[in-house]
């Protein structure tokens, strides 16, 4: 997946003077980036790195991380992109378990530091092996030790052309990367931009994203960051944004309509770290991503099916023998996601219903949290909502709603009226809580595991301020 060979070629060609990478008021042309990649790779080799070695990147800065990732690729290693938000103990446990050959915790030497000028590479990058492992990252588990996943270079680079066609990304574009590189969504977006010859602009906070709208053409976002972008546009922020690419969670119709009002096209997709791209929605529902086959297999005792895919884009598996949701069977893979069963004509869009292990079993009924969240989220005053199950002695579990909203009288009564009007009895929350801000993973998704632990009685420090909604 890393694209050092493409960066080096552009750094020595007619694109050498074009801006390749921007982050935190720093920038690199393709020539400068290529020289820094060569210098970083030389430093790693001098330190004993050999092809195939696992290299953990634990830097706090996104630009330095991306340069190091490319340098590891050029040196033949496998870059393991860590999360700067990890605490000391979690980082130590990850490194102890995975035992990387090298840990890069400070920026690698730049070309200028070692006297290496931009220009022709004295150690040319040969044509890379597309089947060799080239990247490792983490699933977005919010508690415990995240699972590390590895994939081959070709499992992502071969999809670049399809992604460019779907998103309209061009070499002259500036692509906004609106989240941390520890998220495979954002890491892929940055490397696709460089692989296409565009400029990757690293703008991981709402404020930096808003400021970049004036010069950004394409933005890769999660739905919560899309709301930030649309709020800024509604408030009159200057923008030349043409397309937003949305991954990481479901997209609602209101967001698509708001984007269209600003002349912005929306490309939403469904995938997983283990599966990469599965389906894409350009306005007519989720359809299979190019070269992907989808089979929704019925689940006994429910009217939902489990999503299985056959695809060239899937990951190799987990490092260090870790167990995870990825299962394989006869060339097909699944991570346990659920969807509506097709009606038989074979042409209907894929309608997702959450992860199988996230369903709530209450009094013999299966409740899909996303169904409840969709009903409650439009209530005025609600910024976001997460629905989880809490253990119950008689019912097995009860439905619990944790609402991100300001404290105000009457909100719970309004939510209960909406629930009675729109949800079946089993779907209606029995307990209601409020937070000023939901805890989120580094990828911007609600931290469901932490929320579930809190409402089950295992209180998490991340949920300080959780209180009953009145």
Is pLDDT larger for residue 18 or for residue 146? 18
Tens-place pLDDT, residues 196-243:
999 999 999 999 999 999 999 999 998 888 989 999 999 999 999 999
Could you give the 3-state DSSP secondary structure of residue 55? Answer: strand
Predicted local confidence at residue 456, as pLDDT: 78
Predicted local confidence at residue 146, as pLDDT: 64
- Domains recognised in the chain with CATH numbers: 4-204 (3.40.50.12780), 274-357 (2.30.38.10), 359-468 (3.30.300.30)
Select the highest-mean-pLDDT range: 155-169, 363-377, 378-392, 447-461.
155-169
143 pLDDT exceeds 50? no
Predicted local confidence at residue 93, as pLDDT: 84
Phi-psi region of 2 (alpha: psi -120 to 50; beta: other; left: phi over 0): beta
Beta-strand ranges (E) seen in 85-157 are 102-104, 133-138, 148-152
Decide if 294 contacts 279 (C-beta within 8 A).
Answer: yes
| CB-CB neighbours of 249 under 10 Å | 17
- To the nearest 10 degrees (0 to 180), the angle between helices 160-167 and 184-196 is 90
Q: What is the Cα–Cα distance from 166 to 430, expressed in whole angstroms?
A: 43
Predicted local confidence at residue 119, as pLDDT: 54
Beta-strand ranges (E) seen in 105-237 are 133-138, 148-152, 174-177, 199-202, 218-221
Q: What is the mean pLDDT of the segment spanning 286-291?
A: 96
Beta bridge partners of 54: 78
Decide if 373 contacts 387 (C-beta within 8 A).
Answer: yes
**Residue 244 main-chain phi, psi, to 5 deg:** -115, 135
Angle at 258 between CA 432 and CA 429, to 5 degrees: 15
Q: How many CA atoms lie within 13 A of 178 on its CB side?
A: 28
């Amino acid at each position: 997946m890393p694209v050092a060979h493409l960066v080096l070629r552009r750094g020595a060609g007619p694109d050498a003077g074009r801006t390749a990478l921007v982050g935190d008021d720093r920038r690199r042309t393709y020539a400068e980036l290529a020289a820094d990649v060569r210098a970083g790779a030389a430093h790693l080799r001098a330190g004993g790195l050999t092809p195939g070695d696992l290299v953990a990147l634990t830097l706090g800065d996104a630009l330095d991380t991306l340069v190091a990732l490319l340098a590891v690729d050029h040196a033949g290693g496998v870059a393991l992109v860590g999360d700067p938000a990890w605490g000391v103990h979690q980082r130590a446990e990850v490194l102890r378990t995975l035992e990387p050959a090298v840990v890069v915790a400070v920026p690698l030497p730049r070309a200028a530091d070692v006297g290496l000028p931009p220009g022709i590479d004295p150690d040319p990058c040969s044509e890379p092996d597309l089947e060799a492992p080239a990247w490792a990252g983490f699933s977005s588990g919010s508690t415990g030790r995240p699972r590390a996943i590895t994939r081959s270079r070709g499992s992502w680079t071969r999809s670049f052309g399809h992604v460019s066609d779907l998103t309209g990304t061009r070499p002259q574009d500036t692509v906004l990367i609106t989240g941390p590189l520890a998220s495979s969504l954002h890491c892929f977006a940055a490397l696709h931009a460089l692989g296409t010859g565009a400029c990757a602009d690293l703008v991981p906070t709402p404020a930096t994203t808003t400021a970049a709208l004036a010069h950004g053409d394409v933005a890769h976002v999660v739905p919560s960051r899309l709301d930030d972008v649309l709020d800024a546009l509604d408030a009159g922020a200057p923008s030349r944004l043409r397309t937003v690419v949305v991954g990481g969670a479901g997209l609602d119709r209101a967001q698509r309509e708001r984007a269209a009002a600003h002349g912005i096209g929306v490309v939403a997709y469904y995938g997983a770290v283990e599966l990469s791209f599965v389906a894409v929605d350009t306005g007519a529902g989720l359809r299979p991503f190019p070269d992907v086959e989808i089979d929704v297999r019925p689940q006994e005792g429910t009217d939902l099916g489990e999503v299985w895919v056959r695809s060239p884009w899937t990951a190799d598996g987990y490092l260090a023998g870790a167990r995870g949701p990825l299962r394989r069977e006869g060339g097909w893979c699944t991570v346990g996601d659920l969807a509506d069963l097709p009606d038989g004509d074979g042409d209907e869009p894929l309608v997702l219903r959450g992860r199988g292990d996230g369903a709530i079993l209450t009094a013999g009924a299966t409740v899909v949290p996303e169904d409840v969240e969709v009903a409650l989220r439009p209530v005025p005053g609600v910024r976001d909502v997460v629905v989880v199950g809490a253990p119950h002695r008689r019912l097995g579990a009860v439905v619990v709603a944790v609402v991100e909203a300001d404290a105000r009288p009457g909100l719970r009564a309004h939510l209960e009226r909406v629930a009675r009007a729109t949800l079946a009895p089993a779907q209606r929350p029995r307990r209601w809580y409020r937070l000023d801000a939901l805890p989120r993973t580094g990828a911007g998704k609600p931290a469901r595991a932490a929320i579930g632990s809190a409402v089950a009685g295992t209180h998490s420090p991340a949920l300080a301020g959780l209180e009953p909604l009145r």
